[in-house]
Chains A and B, each alone.
Chain A
Amino acid sequence: MNALSISQLRKVYSNGFEALKGIDLDVEEGDFFALLGPNGAGKSTAIGIISSLVNETSGSVTIFGHDLQKHRNQAKSCLGLVPQEVNFNQFDTVKNILLNQAGYYGMSRKVASARTEHCLKQMDLWDKRDTISRRLSGGMKRRVMIARAMVHAPKLLILDEPTAGVDIEIRRSMWEMMQDVNQQGTTIILTTHYLEEAESLCRNIAIIDQGRIVENSSMSQLLARLQVEHFVLDLAEALTTPPDLEGYQIELVSPKVMSVAVPKTKGLNQLFNYLTQHNIQVLSLKNKTNRLEQLFMDLVQAKTNRV
């Protein structure tokens, strides 16, 4: 069964702006799915419609078989949302935020208390349960929102830029947490501007741009399409001119830093053989850009050029 099915979804705002131009999208149960796109592409509008915060103009949304228009409450019960912005009552305690949310989902106080304890412990927030939420750090507030979205044990969890603005340590711990939640059976849809995050976590991906889905495939299939990878090499000694190797595009970023575009058909061995033969010692090697980032830019750029 699909966790989410979207069919011909359109949204035209009152000012005439068409944010979604009839998108179709399926997300399988158990998937960890990336929904990517540049700012203003229509991601937030799509998530808003799925989570009943935005009224659609036309089209349909089905969550675990429940049509959002016909069986809204059943569809809502399957869904948990972690929004971009902090939207809980900042004057309430962490525990009350979760207890209230559980109450909205019809959970008895006893069950709500047990789920609250479970989710706060899972997010490492149990010792903060009686803290007024506005006193929490930014990373903790993000985790409160994830715990709140998980309190009714949703089958589909939408994370809208959950790691925006948090430091790398917290981000990594949140990745682990998200992977745990997914492994326990929860389908996750993730939107993020950190493409490294999407590449590391997600199995399938859709890229949305200017209100249309411009790419929808598995992460591995998409990355396999990358024909050229860009690397940056740190050299032991300075060069005055870049090496001339046929089939490779080599540039000097600085005398001791070299940028190389490596075609997939050629690989790295030939490049290193050539450098060794010419006594050019390489100290370190890294990807110039994240692989998904490269593809993302290509896809979005191609679409922009066509328009």
Chain B
Amino acid sequence: MKARVHVMLKNGVLDPQGAAVLHALGTLGFEGVNGVRQGKVIELDLSETSRDKAEASVTDMCEKLLANTVIESYRVEIL
């Protein structure tokens, strides 16, 4: 079973990298981009076969390592 974790900065946390990408897009002539937020996607290949157990296990991984919950939120997707 595969899982995909999306890690994003929480709303309200300034994202300097997103702001730099927004600025660079403007430099390239792309208009109408009102905001850019940059995050991470982490794909996991799991031997677990139960969806529920996989989701619980990946959530635990997010809390302990994959996300820093001081500034980041995460979303687990079981594929």
A binds B: no
- B interface residues with partner A (beta carbon < 8 Å): none
- A interface residues with partner B (beta carbon < 8 Å): none
